[in-house]
Chain A
Amino acid sequence: MTRIRTENLGGAVAWILHRPHPSVQGLIRQLGVIGLEVREAWPELPAEAIGADFIFYDADMGHDEQFPWAPGQSPMPMIALIGSEAPGRLKWAMEMGAHAQILKPMSDKGVYAALLVARSNFDRANASEALIADLQNRLSARQTIVRAVMIFVMKGKTEAEAYDLLRQTAMAWRVTIETAAERLVANHSNERGTDDGRRIDLA
Chain B
Amino acid sequence: MYAALSRASREGVLQGVREVNADPRLDVSFRVIERDPEGRLDRYAPLCREILQVSEARHIFGCITSASRKEVIPELERFDGILWYPVPYEGFEASERVAYMHSCPNQHLLPLLDWALPTLGARTYLVGSNYIWGWEMAQIARERVAAADGQVLGDRYLAIGDTDLDHIIEDIRALKPDFILNSLIGDSSYAFLARLSELKRAPEFAHRLTVLSCNFTECEIGAAGDAAEGLISAGPWFEPDGGTGGSFHEMARQSVHELALLLHGRPGAEGLALAEVLNAAMRAGHAPRLDPAHLHARQPAIIARLESGRFHEIKRLPALRADPYLTHRSQTSHGGSMLKVVS
Contacts and interface: CB of A to CB of B under 8 A. Distances in A.
Interface in A9-64: 9-12, 26, 29-30, 32-37, 53
A35 B343 contact: no
A6 interface: yes
A108 B326 contact: no
Q: Per DSSP, are chain A's interface residues mostly helix, strand or loop, or mixed?
A: loop
Interface string A110-131: 0010000000000000000000
Nearest to B149: A1
Contact of B340 (A2, A8, A29): A8
Contact of A11 (B95, B294, B324, B330): B330
A108 to B, nearest CB: 5
A8 B94 contact: no
B338 A35 contact: no
A2 B149 CA distance: 9
B33 interface: no
B140 interface: yes
A176 B143 CA distance: 40
Contacts of A33: 94, 293-294, 324-325
Given A2-B146, A2-B147, A33-B324, A7 B341 contact: yes
B330 A10 contact: yes
Contact of A1 (B147, B294, B337, B339): B147
A188 B323 CA distance: 66
A5 interface: yes
B115 interface: no
A83 to B, nearest CB: 19
A9 B147 contact: no
A7 B343 contact: yes
- Which of A3, A29, A32 is packed against the most chain B CB atoms within 10 Å? A3
A202 interface: no
B342 interface: yes
B333 to A, nearest CB: 9
Q: Per DSSP, are chain B's interface residues mostly helix, strand or loop, or mixed?
A: loop
A6 B140 CA distance: 10
B53 interface: no
B331 interface: yes
Size category of the B interface is 20 to 34
B94 A2 contact: no
A160 interface: no
- Which of A7, A35, A36, A107 is packed against the most chain B CB atoms within 10 Å? A7
B92 to A, nearest CB: 7
B207 interface: no
Contact of A35 (B92, B331, B342): B331
A127 to B, nearest CB: 14
A77 to B, nearest CB: 14
Interface in B296-343: 323-331, 334, 336-343
B143 A2 contact: yes
Given A1-B147, A3-B143, A35-B325, A8 B95 contact: no
A91 B335 CA distance: 42
Contacts of B336: 11
A85 B279 CA distance: 37
Nearest to B110: A4
B328 A8 contact: no
Contacts of B328: 10, 35
A12 B337 CA distance: 7
B96 A29 contact: yes
B150 to A, nearest CB: 11
B146 A6 contact: no
Contacts of B334: 7
B96 A6 contact: no
Interface of B: 77, 92, 94-96, 139-140, 142-144, 146-147, 293-294, 323-331, 334, 336-343
Given A7-B334, A7-B343, A11-B336, 10 more contacts: A1-B343, A3-B343, A4-B143, A4-B330, A8-B330, A10-B331, A11-B338, A11-B339, A29-B293, A37-B337
Q: Which 4 A-B pairs have the closest CB atoms?
A: A11-B337, A35-B327, A10-B327, A2-B146
19 contacts: A2-B142, A3-B143, A4-B147, A4-B326, A7-B330, A7-B343, A9-B325, A9-B327, A10-B341, A29-B293, A32-B293, A33-B294, A33-B324, A35-B323, A35-B327, A35-B328, A35-B331, A36-B327, A107-B77
